[in-house]
Structure 1
Amino acid sequence: MPSPSNNKIRPIKTEDRSDAILQSLTDFIVEEGLQPGDRLPTERELMNGLKVGRSSIREVIRHLQALGIVEIRRGSGTYLKRPLSEKTVYLPLSIATKRDGLLQTLEVRRALEVEASILAAQRATPDEIEEMRTKLEHMEAVHHLNGTAGPEDLEFHLSIYRAAGNPLFEQLLQQMRESFESFFEMPFDRKDFAGRSFPFHRQLFDAIASGDTEKARKHTLEILSVVEEDIVQMAQETDLV
């Protein structure tokens, strides 16, 4: 499919450059009606339309890639992976760059994930519990086979967020988790990031399935405690500040 015209890409102001590029590109995608699988304008077209340099464009594209919104196909271009709308919530570009940003984001994740787990324990339907069970068993099988199960772990948690009954949990937490996992997998080759939290996932499922909100809260916090420990450890090993 040919690239859409770029005559609607609006130049940005110089302040808050990265966020402004992100907003302008999002507006363009919505106005053009781009759907998953459609190709975005080329890097040069974006540079010309937005009146910014290549490094600024690449920073924003990398961020959208980390959030799972676009995918980069080598030699082909950048393609939309997830639908966007005016109501789409996306995270600041700074969250996945430094230790303090990761830890600050983790504080928000902790509050949201605990609440999502509690609500899932209260609201999950039999079908939603069965979906969680299926996702968990798949995650466990992959983990036992490969020693890691990042994408499968995400799918399990997404089933919990959906069962909470509020679509904002799924959207916000998916973006946060993908940013974390992309940050530790790509720059530092840490595909085992938070792997020590694996045993707590079965306990979390059992708590939600039985409607035990206090145990759901407890096991969610145990999982996120491992995430925090890995952030601190990686920061020490890499001088990340």
Structure 2
Amino acid sequence: MSPQSIADQLSPFLEYLANHHNSGTEFLPSLSEINKETGRSVSILREELEVAKALGLAEVKPRVGIKCLPYSFTPAVTKSLAYAVSINKDTFRQFSDLRNHIETSYWYQAVSSLTADDIETLKNIVQRAQKKLQSAPIQIPHPEHCLLHLTIYSRLDNIFVQGILEAYWYIYEAIGLNVYEDQKYLERVWVFHQQMVDSIAEGDFLSGYQALIAHMDLLFQREQKNVNVLFE
């Protein structure tokens, strides 16, 4: 493979967008102005702008113009994963396995960075979930499940880890795993969540890690069984 520069990996518009982003200016000129600067036709720039929008790198605001957005890995991962899952359901299990390894690998770094307010947030999330489980009829605490995990890892200074973890939950919900649950499974899941949060609050990160591992094993077994059903 011949060596390439970063610019070789980008379309002219994305290169222009990156340079503009680094200038600290929020909005880009019009496509006609960019055409004059780059020599790229307006029609091609419009196509490349659509790619930038899909990647979450820019948005078009009516009567204002093209706005640079802060970089996030999440949109690119989410769209790629959605496509992969649509052509092969097994790819979600593979991605889920990757996500599990990431959460376990970053556990100690993540929990040691949490603030007292973060820990209170985690406790409140568990309380809300338990209230839902005890309600009649039972409510599935999926928002709490997602929020608990993302809150635990929210202090990590790694946009790529954050992107993978966030994309996992978007697709988890998109394929219906947030509604395909039984009460006994949910109760077991939230026992592990309670153990994780209690351990974090006590500074016993090893016990929390062990609860996370047990929870991941339960979740992975459930996904292996239910993804096949959801795609039949």
Per the TM superposition, whether the score is higher than 0.5 is: yes
Q: Structure 2 CA distance, aligned partners of 1:159 and 1:105?
A: 20
Tell me the secondary structure at the aligned position of residue 9 of structure 1: helix
Q: Structure 1 CA distance, aligned partners of 2:228 and 2:59?
A: 45
**Which of the residues 191, 195, 198 maps onto 1:199?**
191
Instruction: Please report how far the alpha carbon of residue 228 of structure 1 lies from its aligned counterpart in structure 2 after TM superposition.
Output: 1.4
2:149 maps to 1:157: yes
RMSD of aligned residue pairs (Cα, Å)? 3.5
**Which of the residues 65, 77, 88 maps onto 2:73?**
88
Partner of 1:129: 119
Unaligned segments of structure 2, at least 5 residues: 1-30, 32-41, 63-67
Change (3 A) 1:142 1:165: farther
CA contact (8 A) 1:135 1:156 kept: yes
Instruction: Please report how far the alpha carbon of residue 237 of structure 1 lies from its aligned counterpart in structure 2 after TM superposition.
Output: 4.0
Change (3 A) 1:95 1:231: farther
Q: Structure 1 CA distance, aligned partners of 2:84 and 2:208?
A: 27
Asked which structure has the greater CA Rg, the reply is 2
What are the within-5 Å matches in structure 2 for residues 51-70 of structure 1? none
CA contact (8 A) 2:108 2:205 kept: yes
Residue by residue, what CA displacement relative to the aligned partner does 1:121-149 show, whole Å, maximum 9, x if unpaired?
32222122112112222222223222411
Residue by residue, what CA displacement relative to the aligned partner does 1:76-111 show, whole Å, maximum 9, x if unpaired?
xxxxxxx95444343123443434211211121111
Partner of 2:99: 109
2:47 maps to 1:10: yes
Change (3 A) 1:174 1:125: same
Tell me the secondary structure at the aligned position of residue 184 of structure 1: coil
- What is the TM-score of this pair, normalised by structure 2? 0.61
Tell me the secondary structure at the aligned position of residue 140 of structure 2: coil
Residue by residue, what CA displacement relative to the aligned partner does 1:145-204 show, whole Å, maximum 9, x if unpaired?
224111121112221111445454433212112212321248xx5255963422210001
- What is the TM-score of this pair, normalised by structure 1? 0.60
CA contact (8 A) 2:122 2:148 kept: yes
Residue by residue, what CA displacement relative to the aligned partner does 1:50-101 show, whole Å, maximum 9, x if unpaired?
xxxxxxxxxxxxxxxxxxxxxxxxxxxxxxxxx9544434312344343421
CA contact (8 A) 1:124 1:164 kept: no
Q: Structure 1 CA distance, aligned partners of 2:182 and 2:69?
A: 30
Partner of 2:172: 180
CA contact (8 A) 1:95 1:105 kept: no
2:227 maps to 1:225: no
What are the within-5 Å matches in structure 2 for residues 166-177 of structure 1? 166-177=158-169
Change (3 A) 1:215 1:33: farther
Letter paired with 1:108: L
